[in-house]
Chain A
């Protein structure tokens, strides 16, 4: 608990530095390109088009019987947006300590901000993606009061991402092969979560695994709120709690291990 107070205090004191880093991180991804912010959308849109064509059109995957391609596309986008932002933040945080070596070694900069900048940066992509989704859903089905829960969805996604990112950034320093391993793990999580296919396609004897997959509950929460005009399932709330605890654990671990990690930068 004291670690939370400490980072809140430090975060407030150095809020301008955090803002500066965040601005710079977003600018570096878009600077000099013709599309600018559009690039943040282009890659997920490309994946989205590809998956829609292969899984929705060729393989005729449907989330509910009797649905058209449009409904499949909305379900797919709803899962793809949070997952992509998660993946981007976690991959970014793997290189964040080495990439900011001078800041860490020559100033009293609080290192825990560096993974956080990646995580908050990923929220920009997510909000852009959700905005596009909202336009389509609003056009097709109209706006529902449940959509007021969207900020909460994003917050839970950020908490989960934060916990993972704080662990990732430290482990990447201590384990030389971690980056390669991470890419495989992220692909595994992507396919183990019903994002491009409905959960009913999972064989009965493996279904119990879903209960322990936070991304399943996260994506279910997004789909309930955005597409089904319903309360997120109970598992989503447990995931939210777990995400909160996970990020606290993550930042505590990060702060304890950072001093040691600096020796190897």
Chain B
């Protein structure tokens, strides 16, 4: 594999001035008038073609600075960057669109900025318009756009100019479910075409599914880099530790809640199968019981093989005990009548100990990244354990005589 992007010891020092004029005087007279601020220090990595690199880190850790350097909008203060091919980037919801220009004028300018000439631009514009689904809005000034429309235009432009390296920063959090799904499909397509992707998101779930490797930036430095599972796990531990000290801040993944008319696929029914009698309408299981539930979903504009179901069991303090999906386990859903699919989820030997639990049901796409629909904490249940063990779950164990 060849490197699409090579970074050696990248660093960025922002200079803080009391007033703008000081910066100009400093340039002219070479006398220092600023206090330095190190936003990024000593970041080195390599990104190969056909590879997707995720970037995680707390707010203000230097992620955006790094992405801006990689996209070429700011110069690094130290270090060296080598880029092979055309780079397209959506940074913090901005691709340099001008609010006074119409959508179409912005597209033409954007294409020209990527080095396309007039005939190449006009050739691509119909495809971009089609992907963006903006219709007549394309002739309105950009300042009248909603943030969802803005992102649609940005994503359509950036992915239509045939970039070799694509940088996406948080942008997909806005936009409706239908468009998010289209974006995910296009990004997956990009990977298969052997292009290099850099992806930055607060959704660790998306990072885990989309990326091969990940880079964790902490206080402007590389804290950890490696296979995505390893880095995201470590980062998740770090976020949990922080949540303990700042309990107000929630980092849970919030799926998009779209109205039914926007949904591509939706959950129609979730129910227990043969559940034991309960208290207050909540079934009570015993540890080692079997647990079975059924999920049925309706399909809109999507094929049955592009839909998967995920179930996450959480304790009432929102600790996730176990999550599994038909996507991870590679199980196809059963096709029912009238565009509906369904599946039964069974835990044969429930290991949970006493407590209150609930199931989050997710409807996912074939990549497992996009969430069509989510019913959080929809099936509640309690567990009573026969014994006096402590903790959350039963672990198989035995006691042996000393090995002396």
Q: Judging by beta carbons under 8 Å apart, are A14 and B73 in contact?
A: no
Given A106-B95, A109-B113, A259-B73 contact (CB < 8 Å): no
A107 to chain B: which residues have CB within 8 Å? 73, 95-96, 113
Given A257-B27, A263-B14, A20-B94 contact (CB < 8 Å): no
Asked if A200 lies at the interface with its beta carbon under 8 angstroms from chain B, I say no
Given A16-B117, A108-B71, A108-B73, A263-B95 contact (CB < 8 Å): no
Asked if A6 lies at the interface with its beta carbon under 8 angstroms from chain B, I say no
Interface SS of A by simple majority: helix
A20 to chain B: which residues have CB within 8 Å? 105, 108-109, 112
Q: Judging by beta carbons under 8 Å apart, are B23 and A174 in contact?
A: yes
A21 to B73, CA, bound (A): 19
Asked if A173 lies at the interface with its beta carbon under 8 angstroms from chain B, I say yes
A260 to chain B: which residues have CB within 8 Å? 23-24, 27
Nearest neighbor of B111 in chain A, beta-carbon distance: A16
Q: Judging by beta carbons under 8 Å apart, are B71 and A16 in contact?
A: no
B111 to chain A: which residues have CB within 8 Å? 16
* One of A21, A106, A175, A256 near B27 (C-beta < 8 A): A256
Q: Judging by beta carbons under 8 Å apart, are A106 and B75 in contact?
A: no
Nearest neighbor of B120 in chain A, beta-carbon distance: A16
Asked if B276 lies at the interface with its beta carbon under 8 angstroms from chain A, I say no
A168 to B111, CA, bound (A): 29
Q: Judging by beta carbons under 8 Å apart, are B75 and A259 in contact?
A: yes
Instruction: Mark A147-181 against chain B: 1 for CB-CB distance below 8 A, else 0.
Output: 00000000000000000000000110111100000
Q: Judging by beta carbons under 8 Å apart, are B95 and A17 in contact?
A: no
Asked if B396 lies at the interface with its beta carbon under 8 angstroms from chain A, I say no
Stretch at the interface among A97-105, A201-209, A211-219: A97-105
Nearest neighbor of B105 in chain A, beta-carbon distance: A24
Q: Judging by beta carbons under 8 Å apart, are B121 and A16 in contact?
A: yes
B142 CB, min distance to chain A CBs, angstroms: 9
A22 to B166, CA, bound (A): 29
Interface centre among B21, B92, B116 (most CB of A within 10 A): B21
Asked if B349 lies at the interface with its beta carbon under 8 angstroms from chain A, I say no
B168 CB, min distance to chain A CBs, angstroms: 13
Instruction: Mark B93-119 against chain A: 1 for CB-CB distance below 8 A, else 0.
Output: 011111111000100110111011110
A186 CB, min distance to chain B CBs, angstroms: 22
B98 to chain A: which residues have CB within 8 Å? 100, 102-103
B113 to chain A: which residues have CB within 8 Å? 14, 17, 107-109
* One of B14, B72, B92, B97 near A108 (C-beta < 8 A): B72
A171 to B75, CA, bound (A): 22
Asked if A46 lies at the interface with its beta carbon under 8 angstroms from chain B, I say no
Given A20-B112, A21-B109, A259-B75, A102-B21 contact (CB < 8 Å): no
A105 to B71, CA, bound (A): 11
* Contact size range, B: 20 to 34
Interface residues of A in 1-34 (CB under 8 A from B): 13-14, 16-17, 19-21, 24, 28
A14 to B91, CA, bound (A): 21
Asked if A139 lies at the interface with its beta carbon under 8 angstroms from chain B, I say no
Nearest neighbor of B95 in chain A, beta-carbon distance: A106
A14 to B112, CA, bound (A): 7
Asked if B15 lies at the interface with its beta carbon under 8 angstroms from chain A, I say yes
* One of A19, A102, A257, A264 near B96 (C-beta < 8 A): A102
A238 CB, min distance to chain B CBs, angstroms: 27
Q: Judging by beta carbons under 8 Å apart, are A102 and B99 in contact?
A: yes
A78 CB, min distance to chain B CBs, angstroms: 35
A226 CB, min distance to chain B CBs, angstroms: 36
A51 CB, min distance to chain B CBs, angstroms: 34
Instruction: Mark B65-91 against chain A: 1 for CB-CB distance below 8 A, else 0.
Output: 000000111110000000000000001
Asked if B20 lies at the interface with its beta carbon under 8 angstroms from chain A, I say yes
Q: Judging by beta carbons under 8 Å apart, are B118 and A264 in contact?
A: no
A14 to B121, CA, bound (A): 13
A256 to chain B: which residues have CB within 8 Å? 27
B141 CB, min distance to chain A CBs, angstroms: 10
* One of B23, B92, B97, B109 near A264 (C-beta < 8 A): B23
A170 to B25, CA, bound (A): 13
B94 to chain A: which residues have CB within 8 Å? 102, 105-106
A64 to B23, CA, bound (A): 51
A264 to chain B: which residues have CB within 8 Å? 20, 23
B58 CB, min distance to chain A CBs, angstroms: 23
B112 to chain A: which residues have CB within 8 Å? 14, 16-17, 19-20
B72 to chain A: which residues have CB within 8 Å? 108
Interface residues of B in 309-337 (CB under 8 A from A): none
A24 to chain B: which residues have CB within 8 Å? 101, 105, 109
A253 CB, min distance to chain B CBs, angstroms: 9
Q: Judging by beta carbons under 8 Å apart, are B96 and A106 in contact?
A: yes
* One of A102, A105, A174 near B24 (C-beta < 8 A): A174
B14 CB, min distance to chain A CBs, angstroms: 7
A263 CB, min distance to chain B CBs, angstroms: 7
A6 to B15, CA, bound (A): 27
A16 to B116, CA, bound (A): 8
Interface centre among B17, B20, B71, B101 (most CB of A within 10 A): B20
A244 CB, min distance to chain B CBs, angstroms: 23
Can you give 6 contacting A-B residue pairs, CB < 8 Å? A24-B101, A106-B91, A171-B24, A260-B23, A262-B74, A263-B14
